[in-house]
Structure 1
Amino acid sequence: MSTPADNANSNEVYVGRQPIFDQSLNVYGYELLFRSGHTTTANVIDGNHATSQVIINTFLEIGLEHISNHRYTFINLTRDFLLGDIPLPLQSEKIVLEVLEDVEVDDKLIAAIKQLSAQGFTIALDDFVLNEKNRALLPLADIIKIDLMVLDTETLKRHVTIFKKLDVQLLAEKIETEEEYEMCKELGFDYYQGYYFCKPHVVSGKQLPANRLALLEMIAKLQSPDCDMHELEQIISRDVAISYKLLRIINSSYYSMQSTVDSIKKALLILGLKPLKSWVTVIGLSMVDDKPPELITISLTRAKMCERLAPALGINEDAAFTVGLFSMLDVLLDKSLADLVTQLPLDDEVIKALLAREGKLGELLNLVTQYEEGQWQEIDQYTIDKALIRQGYLDALEWSGSIIAEIAH
């Protein structure tokens, strides 16, 4: 999956990621989304140089563990990288090298890919459509990525039939609808990628299941300005799982408490009302058990990134965090966002941001989601310093990863 070219300063380094799910909807890995680095003249050498800088920044300065969270990392490579004309400063463990669909296939390329495979790299064929020229790549592939927007249904099925006879795994990318996802499951794909997994599956005319209704009621109470310390303590204490996870977070390295916090009352006294409300909401959302856990990671990353960038736009950080956190409430609860926000005592500015992306909060949420999706040309329109945006994203990734690690136990 290639990223759009841009005409911005090639010194700017944007790094995003898109999750790749296995058949159980657990995250198998992340595809890195980065600025292609092409100048207005589309000079290929300049593009390779910029991509090289992105890889160096990602792996040497930022740190792979912060980007991939110890899962597989998928990286698009041009022919020059594959041939070794530009050094590839990567270790092979859990790295998937994607051979782009427009790379010229010849004996030199095949020999280079064989060498990379022998070094331990996983080889993926990106946006692969079988033809006589690229057929020679099939014995070298560990993963074949098929773009659903390129093939019609019958051609897709023919490709899957051919590839199923080989010792490869199949990845369906650009899944946009539930119908596409169900079709790919039926065809036997091993991995799935696309924005469908971050979209709501809203069942109209039906009430929320009891467990989700109870969760929504709890969130509504927590968001109420009338919720006081005593009521919050009661809400938390009634649920053993929430209490346990909350105490794990407070006693984690994130807070670095000098002494153990062993009671909800003590946690309230130390952290205060607002932070505890946020934590209980986050933990509650993480306990929706029929959704990919990655959705909580995305929600937390959005929330923290919104919070980090809020001062640059003169926005209240608490409101920014709430907007980011609740931006996927419809996906998690399978109910329209318009219906959900009417049941929560949210500020008008927060509601306008969530429903219509209006106001400064709406602008901030747009920026964060566009960065998340790798829409780099859209990012260029904002006046916020690009280095601040990138650092906000990376800080949010690191923070959400540490929190998920505590909640998961």
Structure 2
Amino acid sequence: MGKYIAARKPVLDKNQEVFAYEIVFKNVIKGKELTKTSNLFAEEISDDIEFFEKSNLADGKRIFIHFNAELLQSEVPQLLSKAKLGIEVSAALNFENQIKNNIKNLREMGSLLILNQSEAAPAENELYNYADIIKIDYKKASKAEHKSFIEKIKSQSPKGVKFLAQNIDEHHHFKEAKELGFDYFQGIFFTKADMISDSGTPGYKINYLNVLKELNKEDVDFDEVEKIIKNDISVTFSLLKTINSASYGYNVSSIKQASALLGVKGLKKWSLLYLISGLKDDKPNILFVNTLTRAKFAESLAEEFKAAEKSEDLFTMGIFSMMDAFLNRPMSKILEETALTEEIKEALLIREGVMGEILNLVIAFERVKWDQVALIEKKNQLDPKKLYNKYLEAVDFAYETMGILIKNQK
């Protein structure tokens, strides 16, 4: 790795499947997000981009990178896979001939051009002739303005330009933007509960919640856990199959035997992982990935915050931090029905205490809020590079674990 660290923002399609990841770089020294006005140098970030492209952070998807004029004229674009590259440029870019020719060449080799228009402004722009995707801040215009702009550009673009709405932070905005003609979406809406109405927990999820309640009691009764799980033969089979995964080398035939081999903590963790995967059927995969990443990242930060004894609770906190999105219910109601410690509940509801601070950091990293990350780093004297490595390890854990869980539920 070089001077910079980076995190990702998913770009979702209309089905909430990941189409691409936008890379957002952070200067370790200054702690600032690197944007089009930053003084980026090709030799300092080319290795980082290549690493990002090949890692789980890209997950085999396209990567969108914001290029300023300097980067567009550098060798960086030539180092990347054109079939996976999305070049994001500002609509205010000075479109000189050399830059124009570079963009043409990159597009001919398979790259996409994303024009960051910011607002749904009707002003003429030569870049419209080259753009594959026009990116607009959804909050900076009315629905009527968005609709008018999209219809105008589509009528003038024979090659079928697409539209990306950024800052989609609520489910109803996602639904509106789809109806207005947007094709891609960026924002945190998918991490939130979609509470059109609080109609209670669907029946098929009740068994999962009952196990979660039992597992989080102070004194876990594994006879009761086994009894609950046995109410659903498929759950019993799949959970034991997961525990017996070749990656872990166990050969157990009962929940009691699993608790003896794994210990209470080990069985609790794998049960939590398995059960949360059972709640994801009607949710996008990226929500599941983010949940696993949050849990592992939070757990790994225990020692950095001098709270090693809380690592298990931090993992549980990370899982539950997304439970409202999985169940479409208020977090407060979910916690009323679940036997979590008061410390975990305070962290989830009001972000209090050391666990609340860790959750703030994990979410800030997930949402690429570099200013918030830098403040927490400074306050707790954290090493940014070490923190970044833990984030990368958490992402790797998420994909590895998701693969195991999905495979063993088939």
Deviation of 1:327 after TM superposition, in Å, equals 0.7
Aligned residues of 1:237 and 1:264 also touching (Cα < 8 A): no
1:218-257 Cα deviation digits (max 9, x unpaired): 21112123333333334444434434543454454643x2
Give the Cα separation in 1 of the matches to 2:350 and 2:136: 34
Amino acid at match of 1:403: T
Amino acid at match of 2:322: M
Corresponding residue number in structure 2 for 1:77: 67
Corresponding residue number in structure 2 for 1:21: 12
Give the Cα separation in 2 of the matches to 1:52 and 1:242: 52
Percent identical residues? 29
Deviation of 1:117 after TM superposition, in Å, equals 0.8
Give the Cα separation in 1 of the matches to 2:360 and 2:31: 26
Give the Cα separation in 2 of the matches to 1:399 and 1:92: 28
Amino acid at match of 1:277: K
Give SS of 1:14's match: strand
Unaligned ranges ≥5, structure 1: 1-10
Distance 1:72 1:236, change over 3 A: farther
Match of 1:107 among 94, 97, 109: 97
Match of 1:280 among 250, 271, 276: 271
Deviation of 1:401 after TM superposition, in Å, equals 0.8
Deviation of 1:353 after TM superposition, in Å, equals 0.7
Aligned residues of 1:19 and 1:31 also touching (Cα < 8 A): yes
User: RMSD value over aligned CA atoms?
Assistant: 3.0
1:313-358 Cα deviation digits (max 9, x unpaired): 1221101111111111111111111111121111111111111100
Amino acid at match of 1:310: A
Give SS of 2:134's match: strand
Corresponding residue number in structure 1 for 2:297: 305
Give the Cα separation in 2 of the matches to 1:146 and 1:43: 16
Distance 1:400 1:85, change over 3 A: closer
Corresponding residue number in structure 1 for 2:50: 59
Distance 1:46 1:330, change over 3 A: closer
| More displaced 10-residue stretch of structure 1: 281-290 or 320-329 | 281-290
Unaligned ranges ≥5, structure 2: none
| More displaced 10-residue stretch of structure 1: 311-320 or 282-291 | 282-291
Query: TM-score, normalised to structure 1's length?
Result: 0.86
Amino acid at match of 1:117: R
Corresponding residue number in structure 2 for 1:270: 261
Matches within 5 A, 1:3-18: 13-18=4-9
Deviation of 1:298 after TM superposition, in Å, equals 0.8
Corresponding residue number in structure 2 for 1:6: none
Would you say 1:404 and 2:402 are equivalent positions?
A: yes
Give SS of 2:86's match: strand
Amino acid at match of 2:208: L
Deviation of 1:398 after TM superposition, in Å, equals 0.5
Deviation of 1:311 after TM superposition, in Å, equals 0.8
Distance 1:140 1:353, change over 3 A: same
1:273-323 Cα deviation digits (max 9, x unpaired): 222222222222222322222111111100000011111112211011111
Distance 1:193 1:17, change over 3 A: same
Aligned residues of 2:28 and 2:384 also touching (Cα < 8 A): no
Aligned residues of 1:39 and 1:46 also touching (Cα < 8 A): no
Corresponding residue number in structure 2 for 1:199: 192
Distance 1:134 1:263, change over 3 A: farther
Give SS of 1:96's match: strand
Corresponding residue number in structure 1 for 2:285: 293
Query: TM-score, normalised to structure 2's length?
Result: 0.86
Give the Cα separation in 2 of the matches to 1:45 and 1:145: 18
Distance 1:357 1:129, change over 3 A: closer
Would you say 1:91 and 2:81 are equivalent positions?
A: yes
Amino acid at match of 2:17: N
Give SS of 2:113's match: strand
Amino acid at match of 1:111: N
